[in-house]
A and B are shown apart, each in its own frame.
Chain A
Amino acid sequence: MPRIGVFVCHCGSNIAATVDCAGVAEATRGFPGVVHAADFKYLCAETGQNLIRDAIAEHRLNRVVVASCSPRMHEPTFRKAVAQAGLNPYLMEMANIREHCSWVHADRQVATAKATEIIRMVVAKVARNEPLTAKQVGLTKRLLVIGGGIAGIQAALDVANAGYQVTLVERTPTIGGKMAMLDKTFPTLDCSACILTPRMVELSQHPNIELRTYAEVLSVKGFVGNFEVEILQKARKVNHLTCTGCGTCWQKCPEKNVPSEFDVGMGRRTASYIPFPQAVPNKPVSDTANCRSVRHLAAKERGEKLMECRVCEKLCPTKSIDWEQKDEIIVDRFGAIIVANGYDTFDHSVYGEYGYGKYPDVITGLQLERLMNASGPTKGEVVRPSDGKHPHSVVFLACVGSRDDKVGRPYCSKICCMYTAKHALMLKEHDPNIQTYVFYLDIRAAGRGYEEFVRRVQEEYGSTYIRGRVSWIYPQDGKLIIKGEDTLLGRPVEVEADLVVLATGITAASGAVDLMQTIGISYDTYGFINEMHPKLRPVETNTDGVYLAGCASGPKDIPDSVSQASAAAVKVCGLFSQDYLTTDPMTSVVDQMKCVGCFLCEEVCPFRAVERETLRGGKVVARINESVCKGCGLCVAACRGEALNLKGFTDQQLLAQVTALLRA
């Protein structure tokens, strides 16, 4: 027999002002099963909780209804309170008479009557509540980091230093990401490689970190604490266990004309290559699309003839070249995932007015970084790609592929104002005779020392900033004519330039959407990851156990990317500090006798909680993985055979609620 206690809260005057709380308590005394009712000013206060605990003991209550605010506020508080009095916490229900009643009504009489009815329904429900027990599952204390840019590197190091095992998966042959491509970094102008490469080396030598470059994540199954991940290790055609990174193969490779991804097409590389001298790992991969030997093998299979090469194989002192090496799939288990797949820069070839990406002397900011870099394709000499001459007049265009609805990028890329100012300053350092122009819309330089930096570039370095978007660039007599408007003066401007640099904006990394779908996390229209909460949970995704860091969730500079990485690492460490995870028991359950195996539930479940089970008779039915189920109830609504029920919200409970209201 249920012995129900009803507790009506005044919430100061939040409820009491419009609801006669004592009257409501009095009215509930006549409801079926209610043996005790009381009202109190603040039930959530320690004294209020004591009142409930004492009443449970005194009146031998086995069900409790707290009529107060939304369960979103205090459900954990009152569950804990009744548990302390020895009651199963799921035998407590809350009746929301604040948000659903006192706050939205003015008439005291009506509000009092409505509050009474709300409680009547909840009393009918709680009488049918069953004790539920939260389950505990173990967890694998190993982290998977996807993406080896500065964000991924920082997160991996932080978690590894806390003593946990980390696997970092990077799809290119080296870690470092975009930061490795940069020359100097704003606003302090420290050399990018000098501050990055020590971290890369530390990572590669860390006993707790397994590094998998030239690899990608194929599939993710499971749930927080217990992810099962398939990783594709692409064939390098080089055995990294025996290779010493001596450099013979990439020095001797005759295929020297492959555009270098690392130099963003400004330089060339060989087919067997390391992307840059400090690459980690410092061992080559043979790019199968361009390697002459691999192409020879493929041609042979097709019955065609092609010259064999095998130079590297013949010259490698450790016999590490392995033509038979195949792509490999590795299956591993992880407790948490940090997604740090970074960004790409906007492809400016959509702009016909800027030459469709076809004018050789119109380059991007990232390409300029490579030209300015001492280990870049020109050894740090800034020259025009068309004729190798030194430029006198260099024009920068800000906001290319940013703040432009027409190309589907209404957002500001946040870092291009700063990197453009950096470029203007550094060009002047390279050659004091260079005149730079920056066409901009607004200057966005929010950050410590950032605004001061941009002022310095204009005042000390004499960069001419012109407010206005460039409308047209066209070649004339070996130079480029840039047409724009100085909106400050209200006059058209025409600049004759030797070199034009486009500050192309930040877009989601290529393949980002596929990756998000593989992992099962939500992303926005641009392919950036959505945070669990943009302010209060900025490094969590909407899937438990999956975190984010860096430009994967939108434009960020290095300090922001690193801060996020460390924040995500703390979240992971917090998770790994537990020995088991408690799961919410309010999940759905299958009545396998009723299940007809249509698997509509499987289709609708957004969390992939529905599994298939074959019964002894051969019948295939649904089973809910309680660790994954979030209790959203979609499957219950979808199930045609009423085989599914949601614990804590069973059909019987809900029906009792409705009946109580209708019968009253």
Chain B
Amino acid sequence: MSVLKFASTDQPGRNGLLALVKAKTGQDVLACYQCGKCSAGCPLSSAMDLAPHQVLRAVQLGQRDLVFQSSAIWLCVTCQTCYTRCPQEVDLPKVMDALRSQAIQEKIRPAERTVKVFHDVFLGLVERFGRLYEVGLIGGYNLLARQPLASADLGLPMLTRGKLELIPRRVKDREQIRAIFKRAAELELEEITGQSVAAAPPASVPS
């Protein structure tokens, strides 16, 4: 296991990762006192390499590699269970989101590569159809993860029982969905460049 090293000039109590999360989310990660309640309730934590509270711990100690290479930040489904229950009111999903977006910006891929692949395919489909297209997700994921036949034994019975539809369904107003994605991309750009990208959001889309 890699040793966490601190030189005498280091300032983990004021580390850059803490500042970054603070700037992106307004969250003070030092408020987390590591009770583990978030991880205990997280539906995904058993699949994560770092439990949610450990992601925060790594942020507290300024451990960039540990954080950005973790699968945990990609596995989080933003279900909000942790945030609802956290005694210190740390908005963990928001922090996870910020860490993901930072990883994308810095083009850092998680050690467990396929985790990010899933994320990308999933969001790509939502952007196109406005909702999830399961068959597309399985196909796209398997292709990109270079494991074309993985879980095929599950796919067939699901098809025959009508659990999977071959033709994708679409939401009615795909314009709105596109607008959301566009605005999200703009916001991301704004964050990177520090300049506001003038685009009047469609009336019904939250800015």
- Which A residues are within 8 Å of any B CB, using their own CB? 392-393, 433, 435-437, 455, 458-459, 461-464, 467, 479, 486, 488-498
Contacts and interface: CB of A to CB of B under 8 A. Distances in A.
Nearest to A455: B33
Contacts of B9: 392-393
A36 B63 CA distance: 89
A491 B5 CA distance: 10
Given A393-B10, A435-B11, A462-B13, A489 B3 contact: no
B5 A393 contact: no
Nearest to A458: B30
B178 interface: no
A255 to B, nearest CB: 38
A401 to B, nearest CB: 25
Interface in B8-36: 8-14, 28, 30-31, 33-34
B179 to A, nearest CB: 39
Interface stretch (B53-61, B127-135, B188-196): B53-61
Contacts of B14: 435, 462
Interface of B: 1-14, 28, 30-31, 33-34, 50, 53-54, 57-58, 60-61, 63, 66
A442 to B, nearest CB: 12
B27 to A, nearest CB: 12
For the complex of A and B, 3 pairs with smallest distance between CB atoms: A462-B13, A393-B8, A496-B8
A488 B31 contact: no
A479 B5 CA distance: 14
A436 B8 contact: no
22 contacts: A393-B6, A435-B10, A435-B11, A435-B13, A436-B13, A437-B6, A437-B12, A458-B30, A458-B33, A462-B12, A464-B61, A479-B8, A486-B4, A488-B54, A489-B4, A489-B50, A489-B57, A490-B1, A491-B2, A491-B3, A492-B3, A492-B4
Nearest to B53: A488
A494 B58 CA distance: 15
Nearest to A489: B57
A87 B34 CA distance: 70
Nearest to A466: B61
A459 B30 contact: yes
Nearest to A492: B3
Given A435-B13, A462-B14, A489-B4, 20 more contacts: A392-B9, A393-B9, A435-B11, A435-B12, A459-B28, A461-B13, A462-B12, A464-B60, A464-B61, A479-B8, A486-B57, A489-B63, A490-B1, A491-B1, A492-B1, A493-B4, A493-B5, A495-B6, A496-B8, A498-B8
A488 B34 contact: yes
Contacts of B28: 459
B6 A491 contact: no
Contacts of A494: 3-6
Contacts of A490: 1, 54
B48 to A, nearest CB: 13
Contact of A489 (B5, B7, B12, B54): B54
B13 A463 contact: yes
Contacts of A488: 34, 53-54, 57
A104 B84 CA distance: 54
Given A464-B13, A464-B61, A496 B7 contact: yes
A437 B7 CA distance: 12
A462 B2 contact: no
A435 B9 CA distance: 8
A497 B50 CA distance: 28
A461 B30 CA distance: 10
A474 to B, nearest CB: 15
A458 B54 CA distance: 17
A486 B34 CA distance: 12
A489 B13 CA distance: 16
A497 B8 CA distance: 5
Contact of A496 (B4, B6, B30): B6
B58 A489 contact: yes
Contacts of B8: 392-393, 479, 496-498
Contact of A462 (B11, B50, B63, B66): B11
Nearest to A393: B8
Contacts of A435: 10-14
A458 B61 CA distance: 12
A551 to B, nearest CB: 29
Contacts of A393: 6-10
A435 B7 CA distance: 10
Nearest to A482: B6
Nearest to B29: A459
A459 B58 CA distance: 15
B65 to A, nearest CB: 12
Nearest to B58: A489
Contacts of A492: 1, 3-4
A458 B18 CA distance: 13
Contacts of B58: 489
Contacts of B34: 467, 488
A390 to B, nearest CB: 12
A486 B13 contact: no
A493 B7 contact: no
B69 to A, nearest CB: 14
Contact of B12 (A392, A459, A464, A479): A464
Nearest to A460: B30
A75 to B, nearest CB: 52
Given A435-B11, A489-B4, A491-B2, A459 B31 contact: yes
Contacts of B33: 455, 458
A114 B1 CA distance: 72
Nearest to B13: A462
A490 B14 CA distance: 22
Contacts of A464: 12-13, 60-61
